[in-house]
Amino acid sequence: MLTYNGTVPGQTWRVRPGDRIEVLLRNELDTPTNLHTHGLVVSPQDNGDNPFISVDPGQSFEYRFDLPEDHPTGVFWYHPHRHGTVADQVFGGLYGALIVEGDEVPVSRERVLVVSDITLDGDGELASASAPQVMMGREGDLVLVNGQVRPELTARPGERERWRVINACTSRYLHLALPGQDLALLGIDGGHEPEVREVEQVLLAPGNRADLLVTTRGGTSELRSLGYDRGAMGMVRGGGDLSGPTTLATLAVSGDQAAALGPVPERPADPDLRDRPLDERREIAFTMTMGGGMMGPGRRGMMMDLGFDGRPFDADRVDQQTAAGSVEEWTITNPTPMDHPFHLHVWPMQLIETHGDQVSEPTWRDVVNVPANGRVRTLVDFTHHPGRSVYHCHILDHEDAGMMAVVETR
Ligand code: C2O
Ligand code: CU
Ligand code: CU
């Protein structure tokens, strides 16, 4: 596998709002790479969270990420973001958890569960993806939790655990459930639930994270993905096989009842951008069009041209120019027959409409799934961090194939 410092996943980084993270990235791979702090609200410029940097094999780069004092707490992650090699490198094992602390809840244990998938060939080497797999977004034969196949977790009854779950899969959707246990949602991405809410299941598109509370009951339960139909492209079927039901891990609960913990403290409400004046409205569409061009970096002989608004990614073109300090409404449409998770770097998005329904509570996400033939509406906060960055499909094969665009704020 490909690794950060020899482990899969890479080491978990724990930071607090106001912290500075310094990273020396040394590229010992044989392909160019770089580093992205997914979900962090930090500067995209220079040696910050800059997706335009390329670190060649044998080269090093010093990153510095400065978290503002009001940075949201929650579960984030880091992974490579060098256009053209992202899917191969993440699929190969390059990802790690990044926890922004500061919203402690009394729990008996915290677990970080990084879920990924991978395919190995008969020799135990990383398998490469075929053109149809790339077009749908490759999914691995093996689903891993912290680098292991179906690990067994153990606990005593009556424990309250905090589970930080990251969907680090290249393309697989996870529809999480833990039947037999009590599951509650603290937040998704950088967003916090106004009230801790009991849930039966949580859908995580590639790139999404969940902050969960698990209150244990005696017995053995499976952490499962229930399966999710993310669509199909003509003859290339999705539904049946892709993102199908699977067991991720087991949780064996036995022994003496654990001591009761204090109540979950009330959590501060997330801000609501609807209280701010709107500066601009835009509409952005995921597009897949019959392509002429078969080759090119990351294209792998794809028959389709993937992009936004009919154009593939071009690092030298600015697709959306926004004003520093503004609030914009972005409507993301998906006229294609498969789902695409929309991800915007640096600038937080507040979801205000999904499947035609208004979203009443402040709901902050950095990855929003846009269903096939559907749309979502968001508000984007450009208050902080002028500079140039990207939005893209978080099916990473699509991103490498050109489903990415440039946004510049100044
Ligand atoms: Cu998790 Cu632009 O990526
Ligand atoms: Cu990201
Ligand atoms: Cu996509």
- Chain-centroid distance of CA 285 in Å reads 20
The pLDDT value given to residue 360: 94
207 lines ligand 1 (CB under 6 A): yes
With a CB cutoff of 8 Å and minimum separation 6, the contacts of 139 are 117, 133, 169, 170, 171, 172, 242, 243
Length of the chain in terms of residues written? 410
Question: Which amino acid residue places its CA nearest to atom 3 of ligand 1?
Answer: 38
The 3-state DSSP class for residue 11 equals strand
The pLDDT value given to residue 301: 54
The pLDDT value given to residue 233: 75
The pLDDT value given to residue 239: 45
Index of the ligand 1 atom closest to the CA of residue 77: 1
Q: What is the pLDDT of residues 45-85, one digit of tens each?
A: 999 999 999 999 999 999 999 999 999 999 999 999 999 99
Index of the ligand 1 atom closest to the CA of residue 392: 2
Query: Which stretches does DSSP call E strand in 291-363?
Result: 304-308, 320-322, 327-334, 340-344, 349-354, 357-358
Distance CA 91, CA 323 (A): 36
Distance CA 364, CA 74 (A): 11
Report residues of the chain scoring pLDDT below 70: 234-240, 291-303
Index of the ligand 1 atom closest to the CA of residue 79: 1
Sequence letter at residue 283: E
Q: What single DSSP character describes residue 236?
A: B
Q: How far is the CA of 37 from the centre of ligand 2 (A)?
A: 6
- Pull the structure tokens for residue 350: 């507040």
Q: Which CA distances in Å does 254 have to 251, 261, 349?
A: 10, 18, 42
Q: What single DSSP character describes residue 275?
A: G
Q: What is the pLDDT of residues 273-292, one digit of tens each?
A: 999 999 999 999 999 987 65
Q: How far is the CA of 394 from the centre of ligand 1 (A)?
A: 6
The pLDDT value given to residue 235: 60
345 lines ligand 1 (CB under 6 A): yes
82 lines ligand 1 (CB under 6 A): no
Question: Which amino acid residue places its CA nearest to atom 1 of ligand 1?
Answer: 38
Index of the ligand 1 atom closest to the CA of residue 39: 1
Q: How far is the CA of 392 from the centre of ligand 3 (A)?
A: 8
With a CB cutoff of 8 Å and minimum separation 6, the contacts of 93 are 1, 2, 3, 8, 9, 116, 118, 147
In the chain, % helix, strand, coil (3-state, to 5) comes to 5, 45, 50
In DSSP terms, 214 is beta-bridged to 161, 183
